[in-house]
């Protein structure tokens, strides 16, 4: 896409220059030091046990001298209450290290489940967050745990040190690590008073990123990282220290619950990925909506990154994407752990196609073509994790059967509740016999009458379809968290999560080293001539005379088609069919200047990538309402928003109010109107 920066909409200025690309981050060592080996598998957390029945207490069986022992205990406790002796408490130990920083001391196997955000750095020992092991040699990692998602837990790993290690040297190492990170002397003294060689020492720092600053500046998301409900327990000094960093301790029940079936599946998948005895594993994760597929994928990939330098991830769920805005099928190379929800780690995949809708029910054939196009970029050098849609009823199950035949996974992870309400077990025999949407099972005819351009391309090089039984291992996972598989009772409605991913993507427009937030209308957009890019509306037919009304103030995919754009006049150039092509990023068409034949596009895509863009695809993905109505610094009438409108006009409609189907205590309250 060629063009120069220029004024458009409410922006001022003459334009912005094309800047050179910034250098990427270098690679870093994996593992969690001594605790990395222990991080190979998660520790399965059992159900909380009840306390022993208070039938026979020690008071009823006190031997001679028991009363004197109780008196001595009370006498010793008086010194503790007076502050003369540090209490021998096995609970949480958090000490203020500096302004906006805290030192956390965790005993072996002790965990802190929390909501909020912070930067985490392990100073001594090893800890694990969402499966990823962190040791002292690693840099600080950003951690995001909003109440909209499953709460993260910080768990101390068992110490792995030489048997002949001198405890005094270990204490000196912990003290030196705290001193190197400028932990106050008073804090060091408090931590070392409760230190043991088996524990872990963690530095938590206040975290503020351009993306989170932008999200929190919008009124509907201003309390995004705040706990929704206060715990009934008393507020302790440790709670105050953690709150100064930006996190709040919550119940372990709000964190990830690893069921027995999930533990066994993870164990087998990690062993297969590390051994590679039968080639590189291709893992497909499937199941109904709200069953926990995305959380399982994050946990699995973080566990694999403890052993492997990278893992490939293919996103086929166009409604709830992981690394991109919604409506995309993508292939990403994951080299860093992702310790937060999708809106915190939006990035450019290795291969991406903009499908343009959050559901493929209206055009399943193009969806299959897109999946195949993206999958062909997989080089089969590292393990691949494939996420699928939660549409597993009716034609959705037939489409899933087609995808298993197309992608040929080595492992299929099927997540469902115990009574298999969503779908039958996807055994290899079932997939072999069952008809698909575009493929046939054994002794079955075609299931859908169409031109079958996608299905015909699946035939083998010999010219015949492969009718052998699929060769993959089926792993069952039965989630045990509350509301598993109940789509209408999720913490947050799926449309709000999609809007948060778009806002997280737009947050990359913010300058990295500026404390304040710049509203989107203050950025100068790029000027793109009509005849420099082709234009296509994906989800519906639009008359050429109305095409500019549809494009203005819209979310568009910035794509690259192999054909050269040729136009006899000043444009615009309209495509008659939707191409299956690479998508390099996204942007907002802030304005259309008809006199000068220019689009005004606002995008965080680097200039060197923008030069390759020659196609704009407009789909059924809308700009979040809060971008139009909640930005600061707008005076007078808000562009593109009005209350004086004739709603009787065909095709008109109001901004939809996005609220939950059911209001419950755990629901995250967010009003986008």
pLDDT tens readout for residues 250-284: 989 889 989 999 999 999 999 999 987 778 999 99
pLDDT tens for each residue of 274-332: 987 778 999 999 999 889 999 999 999 999 999 999 999 999 999 999 999 999 999 99
pLDDT in tens, 458-474: 444 334 445 578 889 99
Residues 478 and 587 both lie in one domain = no
Phi first, then psi: give them for residue 122, nearest 5 degrees. -85, 120
In a domain, 50, yes or no: no
Q: Does the model's pTM come out above 0.85?
A: no
pLDDT at position 420 is: 59
65 is a domain residue: no
- The mean pLDDT of 370-390, rounded to a whole number, is 96
Alpha-carbon dihedral angle through residues 320, 323, 328, 331, given to the nearest 10 degrees: -120
Instruction: Using the predicted structure, report yes or no on whether residue 6 has a pLDDT greater than 60.
Output: no
CATH assignment of the domain containing 597: 2.40.30.330
Both 208 and 180 in one domain: the answer is yes
DSSP per-residue letters across 50-110:
PPPPTTS-GGGG--TTHHHHHHHHHHHHHHHHTTSS-----S-EEEEEETTEEEEEE-TT-
Among 215-219, 227-231, 366-370, top mean pLDDT goes to: 366-370
- CATH number, residue 396: 3.40.50.300
Q: Which helix (H) or strand (E) holds 474?
A: strand 473-477
**Residue 4 within a domain:** no
Specify the DSSP element, H or E, that contains 333: strand 328-334
Could you tell me if residue 11 is inside a domain?
no
Considering its fold, how many domains does the chain have in total? 3
CA 639-640-643 angle, to 5 degrees, is: 100
Domain that holds residue 323: 260-440+469-496
The verdict on 168 and 300 lying in the same domain is: no
Looking at the fold, whether 477 and 369 belong to one and the same domain comes out as yes
For residue 123, tell me if it sits in a domain. Answer: yes
Q: Would you say residue 20 lies in a domain?
A: no
Over residues 53-96, the pLDDT tens digits come to 333 333 333 344 444 455 545 654 554 454 444 343 445 789 99
Say yes or no: 270 and 383 in one domain: yes
What percent of the chain clears pLDDT 90, i.e. is strictly above it?
59
Residues in the chain, overall count: 673
196/281 same-domain check = no
Question: In angstroms, rounded to a whole number, what is the distance separating the alpha carbons of residues 669 and 148?
Answer: 9
453, part of any domain: no
* pLDDT on residue 142: 97
> Vertex 514, ends 509 and 515: CA angle to 5°?
115
**Whether residues 213 and 281 fall in one domain:** no
Do 317 and 249 belong together in one domain? no
Q: Do 600 and 623 fall into the same domain?
A: yes
Looking at the fold, whether 344 and 418 belong to one and the same domain comes out as yes
Q: Is the pLDDT of residue 503 over 50?
A: yes
For 620, other C-beta atoms within 10 Å of its C-beta total 17
3-state secondary structure (DSSP) of residue 601: strand
Are 415 and 538 members of one domain?
no
Same domain, 478 and 569: no
Q: Is residue 342 part of a domain?
A: yes
């Amino acid at each position: 896409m060629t063009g120069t920066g220029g004024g458009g909409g409410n922006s001022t200025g003459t334009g912005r220059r094309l800047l050179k690309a910034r250098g990427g981050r270098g690679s870093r060592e994996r593992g969690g030091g001594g605790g990395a080996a222990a991080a190979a598998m998660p520790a399965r957390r059992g159900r909380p046990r009840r306390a022993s029945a208070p039938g026979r207490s020690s008071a009823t069986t006190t031997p001679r001298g028991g009363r004197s022992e109780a008196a001595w205990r009370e006498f010793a406790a008086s010194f503790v209450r007076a502050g003369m002796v540090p209490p021998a408490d096995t609970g949480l130990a958090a000490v203020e290290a500096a302004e906006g920083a805290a030192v956390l001391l965790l005993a072996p196997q002790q965990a802190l489940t929390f909501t909020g955000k912070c930067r985490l750095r392990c100073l001594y020992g090893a800890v694990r967050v969402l499966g990823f092991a962190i040791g002292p040699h690693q840099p600080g990692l950003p951690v995001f745990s909003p109440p909209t998602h499953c709460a993260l837990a910080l768990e101390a790993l068992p110490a792995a040190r030489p048997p002949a290690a001198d405890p005094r040297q270990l204490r000196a190492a912990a003290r030196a690590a705290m001193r190197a990170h400028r932990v106050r002397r008073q804090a060091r003294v408090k931590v070392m008073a409760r230190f043991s060689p088996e524990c872990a020492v963690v530095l938590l720092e206040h975290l503020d990123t351009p993306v989170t600053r932008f999200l929190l500046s919008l009124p509907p998301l201003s309390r995004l990282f705040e706990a929704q409900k206060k715990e009934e327990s008393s507020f302790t000094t440790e709670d105050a220290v953690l709150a100064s960093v930006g996190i709040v301790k919550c119940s372990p029940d709000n964190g990830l619950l690893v069921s027995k079936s999930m533990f066994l599946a993870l164990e087998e998948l990690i062993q297969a990925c590390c051994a590679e005895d039968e080639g590189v594993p291709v893992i497909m994760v499937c199941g109904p909506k709200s069953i926990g597929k995305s959380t399982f994928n994050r946990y699995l990939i973080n566990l694999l990154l403890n052993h492997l330098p990278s893992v490939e991830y293919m996103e086929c769920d166009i409604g709830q994407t992981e690394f991109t805005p919604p409506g995309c099928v993508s292939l990403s190379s994951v080299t860093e752990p992702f310790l937060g929800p999708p809106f915190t780690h939006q990035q450019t995949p290795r291969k991406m196609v903009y499908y343009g809708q959050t559901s493929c029910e209206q055009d399943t054939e193009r969806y299959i073509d897109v999946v195949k196009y993206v999958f062909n970029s997989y080089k089969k050098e590292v393990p691949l994790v494939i996420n699928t849609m939660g549409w597993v009823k009716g034609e959705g199950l037939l489409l899933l059967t087609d995808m298993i035949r197309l992608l040929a996974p080595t492992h299929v992870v099927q997540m469902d509740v115990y009574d298999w309400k969503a779908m039958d077990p996807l055994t290899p025999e079932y997939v072999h016999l069952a008809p698909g949407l575009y493929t046939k099972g054994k002794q079955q005819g075609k299931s859908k009458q169409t031109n079958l351009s996608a299905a015909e391309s699946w035939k083998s090089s010999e010219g015949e379809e492969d009718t052998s039984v699929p060769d993959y291992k089926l792993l069952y996972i039965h989630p045990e968290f509350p509301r598993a598989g109940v789509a209408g009772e999720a913490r947050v409605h799926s449309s709000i999560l999609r809007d948060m991913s778009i806002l997280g993507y737009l947050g990359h427009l913010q300058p990295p080293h500026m404390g304040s937030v710049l509203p989107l209308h203050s950025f100068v957009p790029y000027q793109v001539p009509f005849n420099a890019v082709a234009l296509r509306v994906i989800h519906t037919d639009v008359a050429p005379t109305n095409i500019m009304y549809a494009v203005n103030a819209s979310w568009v995919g910035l794509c690259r088609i192999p054909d050269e754009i040729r136009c006899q006049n000043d444009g615009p150039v309209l495509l008659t069919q939707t191409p299956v092509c690479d998508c390099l990023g996204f942007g907002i068409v802030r304005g259309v200047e008809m006199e000068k034949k220019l689009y005004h596009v606002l995008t965080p895509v680097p200039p060197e990538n923008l030069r390759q863009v020659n196609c704009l695809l407009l789909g059924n993905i809308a700009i979040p309402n809060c971008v139009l109505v909640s930005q600061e610094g707008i005076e007078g009438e808000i562009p593109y928003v009005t209350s004086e409108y004739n709603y009787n006009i065909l095709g008109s409609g109001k901004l939809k109010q996005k609220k939950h189907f059911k209001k419950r205590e755990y629901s995250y309250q967010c009003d986008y109107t």
